[in-house]
Amino acid sequence: MTRKLFIKTYGCQMNVYDSERMAEALGAQGYVTTERAEEADMILLNTCHIREKAAEKVYSELGRLKPLKAANPELRIGIAGCVAQAEGEEIMRRAPVVDLVVGPQTYHRLPAMEAAMRAGARPVDTDFPEEDKFEHLPKSRASGPRARRGPTAFLTVQEGCDKFCAFCVVPYTRGAEVSRPATRLLAEARDLVKRGVREITLLGQNVNAYHGEGPDGAEWSLARLIRALAEIDGLERIRYTTSHPNDMGDDLIAAHGQVAKLMPYLHLPVQSGSDRVLKAMNRKHTAEQYLRQIEKLRAARPDLLLSGDFIVGFPGETEADFEATLDLVRAVGYGQAYSFKYSARPGTPAAERAPVPAAVADDRLQLLQALLAEQQRAAQEAMVGREVGVLFEKPGRMEGQMVGKSDHLHAVHVVAEGLQPGDLRRVRITASASHSLAGALI
């Protein structure tokens, strides 16, 4: 019997990867995915717990889904991801509309849970199991070696985090740091390439802490894995995210200068430019150490575009601390960056500390975002006149237009005949708009 599955994904790219795996696992159970929640027999919300707003989205979405359930008695609703992990049984109490709760480390058990749910149970599984879920995931035919897919893909190589930054829920929702064996990752990458993928983004909450077992039995670093992936014919581009400054080893920095397929874009969050705040955050590095890493990276790869994450209004942050963050941003010059107002998360150490007044945090966020937006605009404009590689992904809104991503991860529009998704071409950038570049084929 064919049933329809609608998955809505919140949060980071690792959730995007997990959603694909869950769709595959349920595919083996006879489910096909749909883009329309109204026609679904099962709705899965793959959730994020990182900030209060992210977690609250789940409950407002459940409110919107209630009428669908009234209209279709066959409909079942499941909660997956980091809210599932953090709240578990509590979700069942708070939202009677929910039929199943599954954490990020147990979704290989979804098929059995689905069967239990259809039999009338309301299963909850938020274990941190011994077994590797990726090895126990059933595969549907839709994910077989001949099934084509788009030119870009994510590949989770490492999960979890042992860093325990004082503000962050990830070590609790994703568990301890675990690296997948390199042999399996190389096989998965080769399979993706056979199915049409030309760019792979390696994922991990702390991806540069990767230390998986290599085919030779030795422990491989992320740099070693990247060098091995670069040997795969047909794989043209490699990226990785998200990194921690303390795991940015010299071999990884060197790879940026030596591995042509490793793209010149790096997301390296620092959170704050104040040593006092960094210490209170338990980041275990100073602003100066971060700036030195950036220097080394730019020496290895001069055109490297940097991205980052910032938190403003962390408990105890003074005006001087915030100024230090602005100074660091000016010193680095980001191509793009994310910034957030601190959100107290239950169970984390920082949640116990006295907050910065919301209005103060709001003002700081605005100032920081204005500076980052200005840097982003400048970095984009600096691309005009330059020649870059573009991997085309899909048709644009205008007639004859194709959209792709540059080496530096800028969206680029090109009008040209005969371009196909998956084409990797040299492009001269001709103009910069607010969130994209325009160019012409060389």
Residue ranges in contact with ligand F3S by CB under 6 A:
11-12, 14-15, 48-50, 81-82, 169-170, 173-174, 205
d(CA 345, CA 160): 17
Q: Does residue 106 sit in helix, strand or coil? A: coil
CA distances from 241 to 112, 206, 428 (A): 32, 8, 27
Q: Minimum distance between the CB of residue 167 and ligand F3S, rounded to whole angstroms?
A: 12
By rule CB under 6 A, what string of x and - marks binding of each residue 305-344 to ligand SAH? ----x-x----------------------------x-xx-
Q: Minimum distance between the CB of residue 159 and ligand SF4, rounded to whole angstroms?
A: 11
The item of ligand SF4, ligand F3S, ligand SAH, none sharing an interface with residue 51, based on CB under 5 to 8 Å by kind, is: ligand SAH
d(CA 410, CA 401): 16
Q: Which residue matches tokens 């549907």?
A: 140
Asked if 205 is part of the footprint of ligand SF4 (rule: CB under 6 A), the reply reads: yes
Instruction: Compare residues 205 and 336 and give the one whose CB is closer to ligand F3S.
Output: 205
Question: Tell me, what DSSP letter sits at residue 355?
Answer: P
Question: Tell me, what DSSP letter sits at residue 263?
Answer: -
Among 171, 204, 313, 422, binds ligand SF4 (CB under 6 A): 171
Find out whether the peptide bond into 9 is cis, omega within 30 degrees of 0: no
What is the number of other CB atoms lying within 10 angstroms of the CB of residue 340?
A: 18
Asked if 170 is part of the footprint of ligand SF4 (rule: CB under 6 A), the reply reads: yes
Candidates 106-114, 160-168, 219-227, 413-421; binding stretch for ligand SF4 (CB under 6 A) = 160-168
Give me the helices (H) in 119-181, please: 170-173
Instruction: Compare residues 168 and 255 and give the one whose CB is closer to ligand SF4.
Output: 168
- Strand pairing of 158-159 and 152-156? unpaired
The item of ligand SAH, ligand F3S, ligand SF4, none sharing an interface with residue 171, based on CB under 5 to 8 Å by kind, is: ligand SF4
Axis-axis angle for helices 287-300, 250-258 (nearest 10):
30
The item of ligand F3S, ligand SF4, ligand SAH, none sharing an interface with residue 179, based on CB under 5 to 8 Å by kind, is: none
Asked if 220 is part of the footprint of ligand SAH (rule: CB under 6 A), the reply reads: no
Reading the block at residue 230, the tokens are 């670069």
User: Please, what is the Cα angle at 274 between 270 and 280, to 5 degrees?
Assistant: 85
What residues make contact with ligand SF4 under the rule CB under 6 A? 161, 163-165, 168, 170-171, 205-206, 244
What residues make contact with ligand SAH under the rule CB under 6 A? 50-51, 167-168, 170, 205-206, 242, 244, 269, 271, 309, 311, 340, 342-343, 345
